[in-house]
A and B are shown apart, each in its own frame.
Chain A
Amino acid sequence: MWERILVILRKELIQTLREPRMRVLLFVPPMVQLVVFGFAVNLDVDHARIAWMDMDRSPLSRDLRERFEGSGRFDVVSMPRNEDEVQQTLDRGLAQAVVRVLPGFERDVLRNRATEVQVLVDGSNSNTASLVSSYAGEIIADFSSNVAAGQQKVRVLTRSPNSAVAMTFPNVKASSRVWFNPDLHSRNYFVPGVVANIIMMVTLMLTALAIVREKEIGTMEQLMVTPIRPIELMLGKTLPFAVVGLLDVVLISSVALLVFHTPFRGNPLLLLFCAVLFLMTTLGAGLFLSTISQTQQQAMMMNFFFSTPAFMLSGFAFPIRNMPVVVQYLTYLNPLRYFMEIVRGIFLKGVGISVLWPQMVAMAVYGVAVVCLSAARFRKKLD
């Protein structure tokens, strides 16, 4: 039996690696994904472009501008002079926000009258918009409390010059500590996720196509007249891709560590073990796809149908917590969801089996079920 499996395995490896394009496609897409997610994809907002409209032109308004620029989060890119230019700036997306200091700003502040600074935010990207408004609000609030403290000092001192001690006021401050990713780089969040994505992309599709191609070309009949048994054929067809998948895990993890300096706090062996559990589900699903498609085109469409939702609903880019409750329940059917949690847990949080066992059990159950189901279907098709 092992002899026959080995033969199929060799045939499959030769067939996959024979074509130069396939060789490229096995390793290039994973690398491209990694580079793009590592370098390009970024939800962080620093150096947001703002336009500054100063209608007051006073020392105080210049002071406020310096605070914006000094924060390192904003770059002033233009100085609109009238409403029209403000409209143009936002319409064309030249700046993400316009800060407008109204005339009489300094006068009002010095007379201790409440005044406001207008911040017009381009909301067409709501994520950037909420970060920009929270940063802007923070700077203005700091500015305001400084100004207020300064005035208080002046007032208290002028009233009773000797009681300078009594002028302190409570100041409740949030001191934050961010765990696992203290600099809040989105790269650290995305790169481990790529590991999970790529295993799915590569193995699911290759398995499905390897079998359907034989059907389409008609070589499946030739295989069936050989003494090979269905189970052997199945193993021979899936094992090469399992190997490719594991190689991809090692390759991508090394690049993540060496090039992107992603923290890796957990146990690498646990990661490999979980990858094997996850491979069971993707290879099983690949087999299943092959039993329901007749042509390669159908298999690709079905694959697309299966893997895109798995990708989108895995929590990779969009937090599952934000999804509607119905969809959240749907994600429990998605094996990638569990693996995504495991990969991030191992890379970033350094947690072990004691925390990750529910996900591992879910994947194991899922994997065994999918493999059995598709093996049964596959057998029936062959007989």
Chain B
Amino acid sequence: MSYRRLRAVFIKELHHITRDARSLAMALAMPVMMLLLYGYALSLDVDRIPTLIYDQDGTAASRELVRQFQGSRFFDIRGLVNSYAPIQNGIDRNQILMGVVIPRDYSKNAGAGREAPVQILLDGSDSNTASIVLGYAESVVRSYSLQLRQDMQNRRGGERGGAPVDARLRVWYNSSLESKNYVVPGLIAVILQIIAALLTSLTIAREWEMGTMEQLLSTPLRPAEMVLGKMLAYFAVGVADALMAVLVGVFVFTVPLRGSWLLLGVSICVFLVGVLFWGIFVSAVAKTQLAAYQMGILSSFLPAFLLSGFVYSIETMPPVIQVITHIVPSRYVVTILKGIFLKGVGLTVLWGELGFLTLYAAIIFALATRKVNQKLA
């Protein structure tokens, strides 16, 4: 490995990058734009659920129950209706998500101390939202039921019993349960993965397509030098992207950064190196830019988005796919970023992940060098 030849490739590649101003501008602007757009837009928080209520009973007692729903910040009561049809229609047209039906004998049953069911109709097509909505609706009804029971006990002059066991929920790391706090750190990882793979996946394929590979072949350049030099040039772009993304996360989205900045920086750099090598490897396997792009996107965007634990938790996946996630580098960086940002943990917890990223970078470097070598021979 010669420093001089390495530098030559590095400078040549920098020229490529700076010459195409439009692509460079896009590579620099894209991460921040994506982060801003998605950080605000991607949210799984469920509130203000559009709801219709069909009160068949129409008594003071049933109106009291309606008020319970109106008072909850989770529901946005769009109106009271007089039949099932508007509920059916509204759900079909995606205008409402939930219908509450209070049956005719509700107040009679409740007054007599019998079980008084209240019907909840839900649009289940979005299963995640539906199960959260269901939880909210059940808890509104439950606490109302409890209150009724206590009132009745008081009236009967019994001692105050009430619910002896109370669930005291405490949420750690993200006490307001805002999804931005967990989406943004994951998003930074995903965006960097995509950008980095995109940046390098075209470099070697382009040399082949343009015919400049033959020219490089005739120089004394060694494959390892070529791979490393190309990587370093794009590393500069990647680091700039990463820095901007982290700053936006901390200052615009005000995601708490509880851990060490230094560890964050080191982990992101190691991750970038690995992914940039991966892009070069893909580029060496595919001979055309189109194939390289497709393979680059397929091997970076989908795994990073779906298999990294960014939003979809890995534990709920089938065991085979859980095993596959272990070779997805973004899985480790997502864990690291969430750990550093939200939990404020350090190397004692994250050394395994960081170690894997280092190993990944080394292995992919070896693979890419070998592949380029084969192509040269």
The residues of A with any CB-CB pair to B shorter than 8 Å are: 19, 21-22, 25, 28-29, 32-33, 36-37, 39-46, 49, 90-93, 108-109, 112-131, 133-138, 140-141, 143-145, 147-148, 151-152, 155-156, 168-182, 184-186, 188-189, 205, 209, 213, 296-298, 300-301, 304-305, 308-309, 312-313, 317-319, 321-324, 327, 341, 344-345, 348-349, 351, 355
Contact = CB atoms under 8 A, between A and B. Distances in A.
Contacts of B335: 93
Q: Which 9 A-B pairs have the closest CB atoms?
A: A134-B135, A123-B174, A181-B124, A178-B124, A168-B113, A140-B167, A43-B128, A144-B165, A172-B145
Contacts of B46: 130, 322
A349 B114 contact: no
Given A126-B179, A134-B132, A180 B123 contact: yes
A39 B311 contact: no
A179 B173 contact: no
Given A42-B312, A322-B46, A179 B177 contact: no
A131 B133 CA distance: 10
Contacts, number: 349
Contact of A43 (B170, B307, B312): B312
Contacts of A137: 135, 139, 167, 169
A349 B152 contact: no
B44 A44 contact: no
Contacts of B167: 116-117, 119, 136-137, 140-141
B127 interface: yes
Contacts of A327: 37, 40-41
Contacts of A209: 290
Contacts of B131: 44-45, 131, 184
Contacts of B138: 134, 138, 174, 176
State which size class the interface on B falls in.
35 or more
Given A21-B291, A155-B158, A180-B125, A323 B43 contact: yes
Contact of A180 (B110, B124, B289, B345): B124
Contacts of A323: 40-41, 43
13 contacts: A25-B291, A43-B312, A117-B165, A122-B172, A126-B45, A148-B163, A171-B116, A173-B141, A174-B138, A180-B123, A313-B41, A318-B42, A355-B93
B148 interface: yes
Nearest to A35: B321
B126 A189 contact: yes
B130 A140 contact: no
B54 interface: no
A126 B34 CA distance: 21
Given A127-B311, A309-B37, A42 B141 contact: no
A134 B139 contact: yes
Contacts of B338: 124
A172 B34 CA distance: 47
Contact of B149 (A124, A170, A305): A170
B75 interface: no
Given A148-B163, A169-B113, A91 B349 contact: yes
Given A117-B167, A322-B44, A125 B202 contact: no
A170 B155 CA distance: 13
A179 B126 contact: no
Contacts of B115: 171, 173
